[in-house]
Structure 1
Amino acid sequence: MPEPTKSSANDDGRGCRSKPNYLRRFAQTVHLKYAKLGYHYLVSHALYLLLPAGAAASARMSSAGADDLLFLCSALSVFLSAALYFATRPRAVFLVDFACYKAEDRQRSSKADYIERAKLAGTFSGESVAFQEKVIERSGLGDTTYLPESIVRIPANLCISEAWKEAEAAMFGAVDELLAKSGVKVKEIGILIVNCSLFNPVPSLSAMIVNHYKLRQNVASYNLGGMGCSAGLIAVDLAKHLLQVHHNCYCLVISMENITLNWYLGNDRTMLVSNCLFRVGGAAVLLSNRRGDRRRSKYQLVHTVRTHKGGDDLSYRCVFQHEDPAGRVGVALSRDLMAVAGEALKTNITTLGPLILPISEQLLFFLSLLARKVLRMKGLRPYVPDFKLAADHFCVHAGGRGVLDELEKNLRLTERQMEPSRMTLFRFGNTSSSSLWYELAYTEAKGRMKKGHRTWQIAFGSGFKCNSAVWRALRTVDPRAEKNPWTDEIDGFPPGPG
């Protein structure tokens, strides 16, 4: 094609100057969500933008001798804008306190105990036992994790009554401690959310809580099932939205998993991995939208971002419950799990990044995007923001050592920042949706949580989902005044020299 002349490239035929091609290309690369984020930012900060403008306009009209009515109208518009802002802004959500369940010592299961129990089960082949031994040695679990009493016994007693006992012990243990710490009465709880992925009995687990603690009759009760290890943050996000419409309300969130009825006794290797990783655990979290609770609360919820990749078949089936050829039910973990988790994380942090990253990092990312998309510098690698500048503490779901290694690499986190996740995996194993709270408890027990610090929780779950929550500490947490599952043993972590 002949090279266009200067006039044909910049003239639209009507004597007007048109936009250069590179500007048009740039406009096409700007994603709609960034425009939405800018829109939300402008709306959220409209008060700060309108007040100076209104004040300046009022002063100018007054000095110029403008009519008093015009001045009053201007002042009224500023007042109404301020009133509208305060009336429509989201209610603050506070985390008053939380508690994590710590099982009885008799339920401890070392790696050697686990393998011995697998040999005595009588359902695993020699190859399956060897495979489990290999997996558990590389899993990142230590020798002090907990299994349900139904599985600790030999032979195992995998029945629904034992599953009920496991659920009661985890939920009641966490809630009892939380109520004692917070001083909140059960009749003050207006919202209840329970999440457990694999055990969904009738009546529901949330009904069990209502019955046991005799919650009031108009409590808004929700039971989330089948949503995987990230369901705890889904419950927090649901609570955030409910607390926007329920005034002066407490919300109790309970996150746990149940192992008894989901212990796999077959020889499908993709299903045996779950046996090697999942252990007993549970957490209870008390949220509030009462302004008076700000002073006594530990944290304020800053952001929640949910990402769901279920529209993709590979993502949808990478964690899947089904029967093996022998008819035994188990949860299969696909070989594609790490790749799927990486894509879900990338999508999640692309949305969350502009909300939490400092302007300096966003500018570098924008310049990198500009160079690659507009200037066609294809040899230039995409800029990976320094997420260490976005948060002071990280709580990454303790799904397994491989998951933690991958996130440490992708987010370029330090060993100290990954320490809560790795120590939680080592001490308690994969406790599913409650693992994030064991990690936050670890940070508190180490005396690292200071007023103003931001904590980023990241969790993955079947579906496939990646969810995030960002909290800001409202006060410095004194570990000497706190009781949590790490209190009596925190000095031994991390284990080993130094």
Structure 2
Amino acid sequence: MELSMTVLTVLALLCPLFLLWKLFNQLRDQSCYVLAYECHKPTEDRKLDTAQCGEIIKRNRNLNLEDYRFLLRMYVRAGIGEETYGPRNIIAGREESPSLKDAISEMDEFFFETLDKLFTKTGVTPSEISILVLNVSMLAPEPSLASRIINHYKMREDIKVFNISGMGCSASIVSLSAVKNIFTTHKNSLAIMVTAESMAPNWYTGKDRSMILTNCLFRSGGCSILLTNKPSLRSKALFKVKDLVTTNLGAIDEAYNCAMQTEDEHGRKGFNLNKSLPSVAAKAMLENLKVMAPKVLPLREQVRYMVTRYLRKWKRSAGESKRGVNFKTGVDHFCLHAGGRAVIDGVGKSLRLSEFDLEPTRMALYRFGNTSASSLWYVLSYMEAKKRLKKGDRVMMISFGAGFMCNSCLLEVVRDLEDENVWKDCLARYPPKTLVNPFMEKFGWINDENLDENVVDIYKML
């Protein structure tokens, strides 16, 4: 009897310990780490400087005088420099009739440049990869692009493959969320996440102003990321993926229609950005940050916000400052989607960020343009190259995309970062003392209403 009681007592003590141990292992196995990433840097012959952009504009015979003026104005205001990259078929003047070969070769050049570097840098072999998640929104050939990578590197037969399309600039965080979720049921795994956009077959050649804007902003680029949930590799990781929040307003017609691939009245395919986009983006970000805020903000900031909000409700005065949530109390760095100058300004104002906070995003836009879903990683690599990221720092990613979606992600820096990356050859030039706008220097006069004759003269030369 005494022995039985002793056994029961021991079991009673061991059961909670066992449950705690099991819970600890479960939580540990759900960790998601970024081991390395490689941003794509196309070759020099693919650069789109002001002269090249001017030639592309001239080739569009569908533009009238006012369309031409409008397009030049957009280039001037876009916030991009002369070192962005475009597809080879656009530079060669074949934008009117892109081929499948053009589209596939653009992807191949990106895939194998970044993945080769990633495998070489980390020492990981393709056969060790058990999960592959790829997002390219506007190109879906058969076999899939993911299968093309698997075939090229002769990856294992039991690899888990996921192709994500149609989510535009927001797809990178969606892919990251997918990998993190997959890791919960696939322990001790290595995953590759590939994020890019297909530009070669998607250059708009018409005159619809809501569709031609994309030609001013979107550029070739992409990023390949190696992730793991192996506890043994934690010390080698760059970041730990802490929290992700995805928000999709697709149930609202206005949001669903504000960013959409479509055709103009002449059947020319393009991407339509309508006038409701700014308000929809603001609403999507608000809904997203409502969920993300409690995950990233310290308790004191949450209490402060709730108290001040309550007091404002009962005591309003004409000169009262409506101070919102201060995300800088819980976040050290902000990695924003480099969607365009207006997007950066708008998000910066909403979150009350300084020019120092916005510098990485502005520089990524200026140097590489809007590379769609991969733009976040160009921004992140700028922070790393500038040695801003220290162990324990928290980085918040925010992106927008078709759907309409706003997605956010919180990363924690695992170790001090100062690795060389895609910014290596040009980092010394950024940020410039004066951010020169080459398009303003060449086309700035287009904004002067008194210079209509100059516009007419150039237009006649087309």
Cα 1:164–1:155 change in 2 (3 A) is closer
* 1:325-474 mapped onto 2 (5 Å cutoff): 325-371=265-311, 376-377=314-315, 383-474=323-414
Task: Note the C-alpha offset of 1:206.
Answer: 0.5
Match of 1:191 among 131, 153, 162: 131
Counterpart in the other structure of 1:103: 42
Task: Note the C-alpha offset of 1:390.
Answer: 1.7
- Which amino acid in the other structure matches residue 288 of structure 1? T
Match of 1:83 among 10, 16, 21: 21
Cα distance in 2 for partners of 1:71, 1:404 equals: 62
SS at match of 2:130: strand
Indicate whether 1:494 and 2:434 are aligned: no
The answer to whether the 8 Å contact 1:111/1:137 transfers is no
* 1:144-163 mapped onto 2 (5 Å cutoff): 144-156=83-95, 157-163=97-103
Task: Note the C-alpha offset of 1:129.
Answer: 2.1
Larger radius of gyration: 1
Cα distance in 1 for partners of 2:18, 2:154 equals: 45
Cα distance in 2 for partners of 1:70, 1:170 equals: 63
- Which amino acid in the other structure matches residue 108 of structure 1? K
Cα distance in 1 for partners of 2:324, 2:7 equals: 55
Cα 1:492–1:311 change in 2 (3 A) is same
**Could you give the per-residue CA deviations for residues 128-180 of structure 1, whole angstroms, max 9, x where no partner exists?**
22211100110111111101110001344511110111111112111111111
Match of 1:132 among 48, 63, 71: 71
- Which amino acid in the other structure matches residue 78 of structure 1? P
**Could you give the per-residue CA deviations for residues 1-35 of structure 1, whole angstroms, max 9, x where no partner exists?**
xxxxxxxxxxxxxxxxxxxxxxxxxxxxxxxxxxx
Cα 1:377–1:88 change in 2 (3 A) is farther
- Which amino acid in the other structure matches residue 158 of structure 1? P
Which structure exhibits the higher relative contact order, with contacts defined as CA atoms closer than 8 Å and separated by 6 or more residues?
2
The answer to whether the 8 Å contact 1:196/1:257 transfers is yes
- Which amino acid in the other structure matches residue 80 of structure 2? L
Tell me the percent identity.
Answer: 36
User: How many residues end up aligned between the 2 structures?
Assistant: 427
- Which amino acid in the other structure matches residue 239 of structure 2? Y
The answer to whether the 8 Å contact 1:424/1:438 transfers is yes
Cα distance in 1 for partners of 2:98, 2:434 equals: 41
**Could you give the per-residue CA deviations for residues 254-307 of structure 1, whole angstroms, max 9, x where no partner exists?**
000011111111110000001111000010000001111111111111111111
Counterpart in the other structure of 2:183: 243
**Could you give the per-residue CA deviations for residues 20-68 of structure 1, whole angstroms, max 9, x where no partner exists?**
xxxxxxxxxxxxxxxxxxxxxxxxxxxxxxxxxxxxxxxxxxxxxxx96
Give the TM-score of the pair, scaled to structure 2. 0.89
**Could you give the per-residue CA deviations for residues 463-491 of structure 1, whole angstroms, max 9, x where no partner exists?**
0001111111111112xxx3311011111
Counterpart in the other structure of 2:443: none
The answer to whether the 8 Å contact 1:111/1:136 transfers is no
Cα distance in 1 for partners of 2:40, 2:227 equals: 18
The answer to whether the 8 Å contact 2:168/2:372 transfers is yes
SS at match of 2:407: strand
Cα 1:360–1:281 change in 2 (3 A) is same
The answer to whether the 8 Å contact 2:46/2:86 transfers is yes
Cα distance in 2 for partners of 1:161, 1:73 equals: 67
Cα distance in 2 for partners of 1:219, 1:84 equals: 27
| Bigger mean CA deviation after superposition, 101-110 or 382-391 | 382-391
Note the residue ranges of structure 2 that are not aligned, 5 or more in a row.
436-462
Match of 2:217 among 274, 277, 297: 277
Cα distance in 1 for partners of 2:11, 2:420 equals: 57
Cα 1:244–1:112 change in 2 (3 A) is same
- Which amino acid in the other structure matches residue 306 of structure 2? F
The answer to whether the 8 Å contact 1:143/1:427 transfers is yes
CA RMSD of aligned residues (A): 1.8
**Could you give the per-residue CA deviations for residues 387-409 of structure 1, whole angstroms, max 9, x where no partner exists?**
11221111100001000000010
Counterpart in the other structure of 1:311: 251
Cα distance in 1 for partners of 2:146, 2:24 equals: 34
SS at match of 2:240: strand
Task: Note the C-alpha offset of 1:447.
Answer: 1.1
SS at match of 2:201: helix
Counterpart in the other structure of 1:214: 154
| Structure 1 runs (4+) greater than 6 angstroms displaced | 67-70
* 1:41-80 mapped onto 2 (5 Å cutoff): 72=10, 75-80=13-18
The answer to whether the 8 Å contact 1:124/1:265 transfers is no
Counterpart in the other structure of 2:31: 92
SS at match of 2:339: coil
SS at match of 2:181: helix
SS at match of 1:135: helix
Task: Note the C-alpha offset of 1:84.
Answer: 4.1
Note the residue ranges of structure 1 that are not aligned, 5 or more in a row.
1-66
Cα distance in 1 for partners of 2:409, 2:17 equals: 34
SS at match of 2:244: strand
Cα 1:368–1:70 change in 2 (3 A) is farther
Counterpart in the other structure of 1:113: 52
* 1:163-182 mapped onto 2 (5 Å cutoff): 163-182=103-122
SS at match of 1:456: strand
SS at match of 2:236: coil
Cα distance in 2 for partners of 1:351, 1:101 equals: 32
SS at match of 1:223: strand
- Which amino acid in the other structure matches residue 120 of structure 1? R
The answer to whether the 8 Å contact 2:60/2:206 transfers is no
